[in-house]
């Protein structure tokens, strides 16, 4: 073991010879130091345990099942394609090996930089112990200290680097469905949004646009005028965002396949031949994204899309997902042939059935193909969690090269480090109320891992969504940076207009309210990009007490507001815990109202037509009027809500929305400040470098609940 220092708050320990994951960007400074607990490294594994008192909480581990506090469950970091997220699942699409252990007095962050499987038993087997088992002897273990969880997270972000920042239009509303099969159907979706007066910034395209599920191909039959469609929609401020999968179809004459063979870009089997698996196109090869030249080659393929006017892409099936491989399929066929005419007992029948029912994503597949990293060969199993990460690095670098401006990019598989290149969606969730609640509970852990451009498939990808569930989900997704309604082939259509009135009106209103909040959401994105930390925080990260720790269905967004969505069916409202006095905001498009609520537990009526949240004391919240999409945003008049008892301020960040100037600090700032004097009078100061903002209208509530409206002209 070798010790090193990264910053004053971060120290680490190297075991063996770790794979260079490129997750951490700062240089190690080696020194003498000892671990405060023992780590056992033997027989191909690393293992350590930490004691848990009754008061300890465990936070983090990325997009996983369970609560915000991870105690009482087992988890695995191993990117896995599993579309049914039942309660007993231990692994999903992401592998985020950062967690914080906190008791009443001390919090410590832990990050394990290791690209293979890690198992976490967080007080499941023994309530008083967290046990971590690493499937290898070569890894880096980091300890991060700080005065609070927020400080620990910021220190962690300092060593892993700044996050991906989407263009401003990426924070608009997006519609998607596996099943938009023709350009006429896509056009119809757009026209319906337009006729229904529902804002829209883009339409995601699933596999339907491709020819025979081949990457970087177009169906000439179903999408004969793809470039024309893309250009016409973009003129209306609406983008198309196509899917790209990891597997490349094995087909002679297909240019991507031919180039991949010629350039030696595919992963190998044990005999040194390109490994053959099967996904949507049938037999495929997987590009070896862990090789730099392969990343460059594949990234350049995105030019085919950018030449067609595409400004965004989503990478899918990049765990990588495998339907079957040739060995497993042959074993199943042989077993079926042998069983022909036999009288199968229960055990023999189940064994035969499992040859096919459990044929997808078998663990043994990932031991059958190999990667090359800096001249060394590894099984995929050993470096599994780097695959989707590096496919997304490839896409990010290619899109940046060929667009020369910011792009939208999201991925299904993820690991820490990928946060510098893209956002993510949380995978194939279902139209279940429990998954609406899970969407909320995943947000802080995603931020802890460095991911901000995140969201779940609004309404649920699989299953049959009810109109009530979709509207309630929109009430949550209004606040998530990625807002995409996406559903699977064969499920109930769930576009916001696909329901009866009054639900269509409610959905329209929710989406318009999203655009009203967009200046604030975009400002908060720019801030966390620059400073690190959390955009979404559990109450327990800000307030003491058991009530705050257990209020996992409430969430702080930025420093200004608290969300308290309804996440259960047939509810007319909900109980809310207020750790301090706050203003209840009824965010109606016609009239936004503020009502003072005292600290404690209160019942809040919350209908499907509403959007409600809480504004914290001595805070300001900017917003604007709704628009059809981001290209039509009008910031001439900025509106500001305030609950001001003594003094409140907010600095609104903005930029051109598409260049990389923000990386050099090029942005507009509008500083808003309100002071309440002893005699009750208000002083308001507005300083702005924004070229568009001319008027600021303040709606301000004091501690007695009185409301005043003040208008300020910029420069006057």
Q: Which two tokens stand for residue 49?
A: 């345990």
CA angle 355, 360, 365 (to 5 degrees): 95
Residues forming beta bridges with residue 109, ordered by sequence position: 100, 144
Check whether the bond before 502 is cis (ω within 30° of 0). Answer: yes
**Residue 291: partners with Cβ closer than 8 Å, 6 or more residues away:** 265, 371, 372, 373
- Residue 706: phi, psi to the nearest 5? -70, 145
* Rounded Cα–Cα distance for residues 229 and 326 (Å): 39
Give first-to-last CA distance, the chain, whole Å. Answer: 65
Cβ atoms of 108 and 144 closer than 8 Å: yes
Residues forming beta bridges with residue 10, ordered by sequence position: 144
289-323 pLDDT per residue, tens: 999 999 999 999 999 999 999 999 999 999 999 99
Rg over alpha carbons for the chain, rounded to the nearest Å, is 26
* Rounded Cα–Cα distance for residues 496 and 458 (Å): 10
**Secondary element (H or E) of residue 262:** helix 255-262
What domains sit in the chain, N to C, each tagged with a CATH number?
2-160 (2.60.40.1760)
Q: What is the pTM of this model?
A: 0.97
490-528 pLDDT per residue, tens: 999 999 999 999 999 999 999 999 999 999 999 999 999
Q: Which two tokens stand for residue 59?
A: 């936070």
Q: Which two tokens stand for residue 653?
A: 């960040």
* Rounded Cα–Cα distance for residues 69 and 122 (Å): 10
**Confidence (pLDDT) at 693:** 97
- Residue 271: phi, psi to the nearest 5? -95, 5
Q: Which two tokens stand for residue 364?
A: 């043994």
**Confidence (pLDDT) at 680:** 86
Extract the residue ranges of the chain whose pLDDT is less than 50. Answer: none
**Confidence (pLDDT) at 716:** 52
Torsion angle, CA of 77/78/80/86, rounded to 10 degrees? -30
């Amino acid at each position: 073991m070798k010790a090193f220092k990264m910053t004053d708050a971060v120290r680490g320990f190297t075991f063996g010879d770790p794979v260079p994951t490129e997750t951490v960007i700062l240089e190690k400074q080696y020194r003498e130091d000892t671990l405060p607990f023992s780590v056992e490294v033997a027989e191909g594994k690393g293992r350590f345990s930490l004691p848990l008192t009754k008061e300890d909480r465990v936070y983090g581990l990325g997009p996983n099942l369970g609560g915000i506090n991870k105690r009482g469950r087992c988890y695995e970091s191993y990117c896995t394609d599993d579309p049914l997220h039942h309660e007993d699942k231990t692994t999903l699409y992401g592998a985020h090996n950062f967690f914080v252990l906190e008791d009443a007095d001390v919090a410590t962050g832990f990050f394990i930089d290791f690209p293979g499987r890690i198992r976490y038993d967080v007080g499941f087997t023994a309530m008083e112990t967290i046990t971590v088992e690493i499937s290898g002897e070569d890894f880096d273990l980091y300890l991060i200290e700080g005065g609070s969880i927020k400080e620990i997270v910021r220190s962690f972000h300092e060593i892993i680097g700044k996050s991906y920042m989407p263009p401003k239009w990426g924070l608009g509303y997006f519609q998607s469905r596996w099943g938009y099969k023709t350009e006429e159907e896509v056009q119809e979706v757009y026209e319906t949004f337009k006729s229904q007066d529902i804002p829209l910034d883009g339409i995601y395209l699933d596999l339907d646009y491709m020819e025979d599920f081949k990457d970087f191909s177009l169906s000439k039959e179903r999408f004969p005028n793809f470039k024309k469609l893309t250009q016409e929609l973009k003129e209306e401020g609406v983008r198309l965002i196509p899917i790209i999968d990891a597997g490349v179809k094995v087909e002679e004459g297909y240019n991507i396949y031919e180039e991949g063979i010629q350039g030696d870009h595919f992963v190998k089997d044990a005999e040194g031949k390109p490994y053959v698996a099967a996904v949507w196109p049938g037999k495929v090869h997987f590009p070896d994204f862990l090789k730099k030249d392969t990343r460059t080659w594949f990234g350049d393929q995105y030019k085919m899309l950018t030449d067609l006017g595409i400004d965004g892409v989503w990478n899918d099936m990049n765990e990588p997902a495998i339907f079957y491989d040739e060995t497993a399929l042959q074993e199943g066929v042989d077993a079926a042939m042998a069983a022909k005419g036999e009288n199968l007992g229960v055990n023999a029948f189940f064994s035969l059935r499992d040859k096919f029912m459990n044929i997808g994503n078998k663990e043994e597949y990932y031991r059958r193909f190999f990667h090359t990293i800096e001249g060394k060969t590894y099984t995929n199993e050993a470096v599994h969690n780097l695959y989707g990460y590096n496919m997304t690095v490839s896409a990010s670098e290619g899109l940046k090269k060929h667009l020369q401006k910011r792009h939208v990019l999201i991925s299904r598989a993820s690991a820490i480090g990928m946060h510098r290149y893209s956002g993510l969606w949380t995978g194939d969730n279902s139209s279940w109320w429990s998954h609406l609640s899970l969407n909320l509970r995943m947000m802080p852990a995603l931020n802890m891992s460095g991911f901000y451009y995140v969201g779940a498939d609004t309404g649920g990808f699989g299953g049959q969504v009810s109109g009530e569930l979709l509207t309630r989900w929109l009430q949550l997704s209004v606040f998530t940076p990625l807002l995409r309604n996406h559903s699977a082939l064969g499920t109930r259509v769930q576009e916001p207009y696909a329901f009866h009135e009054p639900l269509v009106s409610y959905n329209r209103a929710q989406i318009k309210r999203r655009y009203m909040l967009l200046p604030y959401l975009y400002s908060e994105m720019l801030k966390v990009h620059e400073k690190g930390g959390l955009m979404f925080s559990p109450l327990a990260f800000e307030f003491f007490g058991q009530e705050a720790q257990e209020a996992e269905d409430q969430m702080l967004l930025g420093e200004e507001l608290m969300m308290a969505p309804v996440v259960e069916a047939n509810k007319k409202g909900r109980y809310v815990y207020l750790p301090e006095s706050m203003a209840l905001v009824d965010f109606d498009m016609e009239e936004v109202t503020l009502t003072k609520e005292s600290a404690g537990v209160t019942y809040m009526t919350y209908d499907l037509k509403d959007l409600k949240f809480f504004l914290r004391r001595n805070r300001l919240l900017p917003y604007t009027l709704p628009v059809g999409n981001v290209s039509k945003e009008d910031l001439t008049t900025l509106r500001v809500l305030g609950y001001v008892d003594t003094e409140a301020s907010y600095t609104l960040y903005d930029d051109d929305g598409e260049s990389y100037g923000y990386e050099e600090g090029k942005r507009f700032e509008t500083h808003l400040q309100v002071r309440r004097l002893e005699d009750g009078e208000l002083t308001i100061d507005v300083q702005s470098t924004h070229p568009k903002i001319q008027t600021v209208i303040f709606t301000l509530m004091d501690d007695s609940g009185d409301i005043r409206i003040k208008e300020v002209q910029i420069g006057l």
